[in-house]
A and B are shown apart, each in its own frame.
Chain A
């Protein structure tokens, strides 16, 4: 079975076609479900890509070396000079690859003469395509191990004149907008070259401004796995965490882990995401993997320390915070975590803990101050109800009391007058006339008494 049969496409030098076929087949030959199938597919894919790359390079070189030769003539010439080359164009590319393998095994053997056999009818198209910066960028970006090297990027732009660079800037920016998974130092270099941080809407500005630790250094070229797919998933996980979509981040991270499991960068992302959704056991698990690989990761110790603290394992938490403080004595979260933990331990062991002196915590912190600095003296109690003296009672009712007194006196005078009239004159109409103001005064008095504040 040829590599093209495995990939399910006709032989081609077009990397996009090869990659598309490979990506589609990955769903069928998943590394976990069918490791053998995946290995076969991966080998075919890598050979096809290698052949395509080599083939195109040789075409170019031939054209440079022989500018006078027409394209069609080349092919005929080459075929005539190399009778062993198959004439069927479908099998040509494969032939190149297989011969290339033989050549690399016997570097002294120059007889095969396969170098020029790619000069097929696609030359014209590939010439124009290859000259496009996007394609070169894509080739570089697709190779994870080249992508991580500033040197490779520099090489790409080194030969460009200022005029060319200006002409290509838009294309580069367009490409980078769609392909943002680059290490910090590469972003820095690209920013220097194209002033990306000055673009108003460039979406990866933060990645060149701050080092999010998205290093590629832990990817091992010796390992046989789909790094391209891996870093893609890892970047997805990072973006999801940056969007605070922690569960989705974990999902993407675990898919990435199924491809490559030894990358502390991803362990860190998973540890943080699990911490944020309060799954502290899982957080501890992934952060421990991170710290096994890089024992100077201060944040790793801090997150794991808090995860231990939240689960009540204060001893482990305290040890982690101590490590973090030893690495970065100014780390606020480490100091706070340590103080909280020591306090919890003290409470647990009734004071049998030696506290390390801390310098950095001067600002108010609700969590810390509630436990350590606040006392019951801060609690407020309702004021006891006021006992009234005549003075305070007068002050409280100074609008109502004078009216009550005035109307009360008026009422008394009326009542006195009625009694007097009744005794001396016995004149009923006068008594009736006086009864009206008395009742009105009495009603008003009752209202005023109701208004009194006691």
Chain B
């Protein structure tokens, strides 16, 4: 049960919010991965939120930071907004839908024509940057494209929402079951899921902050304390 819950929580690692606090939290629990199988092991609020244990002052600072992040990136500032946002993510974010549309236009196109298409978009640099991402990862991504971006955002919002007190813990776990089932349906490994999600982050921010995305992607898959170094996809 605990392992499954950790699996569910792990899906937010490659979300735009990043995994550094999550990993910091995992590092702060002594012998976490040794104790995780034992019956005494309890899932702490810190693990649920993906935040390390803070003193009161730091906690206040982080809360303020999360509040600003939720407000500026998702226009979420209360429980009602959060639920609305979560429901909209289940339908599909604008980025995922746009990625699908763009991928359709190039899916049956030979490479030389793709290059021509890109060159023809000289006047619209932003659009060209997005097409470049779609073309660059077309062969690497599964049929689901960047769907993992929505799943990761969904899980991340649930966890941060719980941290801010916008959503109940039981509701979080119920929702995470949904996102886990979606992830399992469309992806076959953590690598594949992580790539899809990270490409989604690049796509959503127009290919800027590439280094940050790469670091987070690498860290999520390779950090010795990361969930994905200790869990199996087919758990």
Q: Is A167 an interface residue (CB 8 A)?
A: no
Q: Which of A1-9, A368-376, A401-409 binds B?
A: A368-376
Q: What residues on B are CB-neighbors of A303 within 8 Å?
A: 139
B139 contacts A333, C-beta separation under 8 Å: yes
Q: Quick one: CB contact mask for A24-43 with B, threshold 8 Å, 1 for yes? A: 00000000000000000000
A210 contacts B111, C-beta separation under 8 Å: no
A370 contacts B214, C-beta separation under 8 Å: yes
Q: What residues on A are CB-neighbors of B210 within 8 Å?
A: 364
Interface size on B, residues (CB 8 A): 45
Extra pairs beyond A211-B113, A366-B137, A366-B213 (18, CB < 8 Å): A210-B109, A212-B108, A238-B108, A241-B107, A242-B104, A244-B143, A333-B111, A333-B139, A363-B136, A364-B210, A366-B199, A366-B217, A370-B217, A379-B222, A381-B27, A382-B28, A453-B57, A454-B55
B218 contacts A298, C-beta separation under 8 Å: no
Top-3 shortest CB links A-B: A210-B113, A382-B24, A374-B218
A210 contacts B20, C-beta separation under 8 Å: no
Q: Is B160 an interface residue (CB 8 A)?
A: no
Cα A124 to Cα B149 in complex, Å, equals 65
A380 contacts B117, C-beta separation under 8 Å: no
Among A201-225, those with CB < 8 Å from B are: 206, 210-213
Q: Is B206 an interface residue (CB 8 A)?
A: no
B20 contacts A380, C-beta separation under 8 Å: yes
Q: Which one of B117, B211, B218, B222 has the greatest number of beta carbons of chain A within 10 Å? A: B218
Q: Is the interface of A mostly helix, strand, loop or mixed?
A: helix
Q: What residues on A are CB-neighbors of B219 within 8 Å?
A: 378-380
Q: Is B68 an interface residue (CB 8 A)?
A: no
Could you list some 11 contacts between A and B, CB below 8 A? Answer: A206-B105, A241-B108, A244-B107, A276-B143, A306-B139, A365-B136, A370-B221, A378-B218, A379-B218, A380-B23, A382-B52
> Which of A210, A212, A369 contacts B214, CB < 8 Å?
A369
Q: What residues on A are CB-neighbors of B139 within 8 Å?
A: 275, 302-303, 306, 333, 337
Interface size on A, residues (CB 8 A): 44
Q: Quick one: CB contact mask for B10-26 with A, threshold 8 Å, 1 for yes? A: 00000000001001100
Give B residues with C-beta under 8 Å from A: 20, 23-24, 27-28, 52, 55-57, 100, 103-105, 107-113, 116-117, 136-137, 139-140, 142-143, 188, 195, 198-199, 202, 210-211, 213-215, 217-219, 221-224
Cα A52 to Cα B29 in complex, Å, equals 86
Give A residues with C-beta under 8 Å from B: 206, 210-213, 238, 241-244, 246, 269, 272, 275-278, 298-299, 302-303, 306, 328, 331-333, 337, 363-367, 369-370, 374, 376, 378-382, 396, 453-454
A108 to chain B, nearest CB (A): 52
Q: What residues on B are CB-neighbors of A298 within 8 Å?
A: 111
Cα A277 to Cα B57 in complex, Å, equals 51
B108 contacts A242, C-beta separation under 8 Å: yes
B149 to chain A, nearest CB (A): 13
Q: Which residue of B lies closest to A241 (CB)?
A: B108
Q: What residues on A are CB-neighbors of B23 within 8 Å?
A: 380, 382
A277 contacts B111, C-beta separation under 8 Å: no
A212 contacts B28, C-beta separation under 8 Å: no
Cα A453 to Cα B61 in complex, Å, equals 14
A193 to chain B, nearest CB (A): 23
A278 contacts B111, C-beta separation under 8 Å: no
Cα A454 to Cα B56 in complex, Å, equals 10
Q: What residues on B are CB-neighbors of A379 within 8 Å?
A: 218-219, 222-224
Cα A379 to Cα B143 in complex, Å, equals 30
A376 contacts B109, C-beta separation under 8 Å: no
A187 to chain B, nearest CB (A): 13
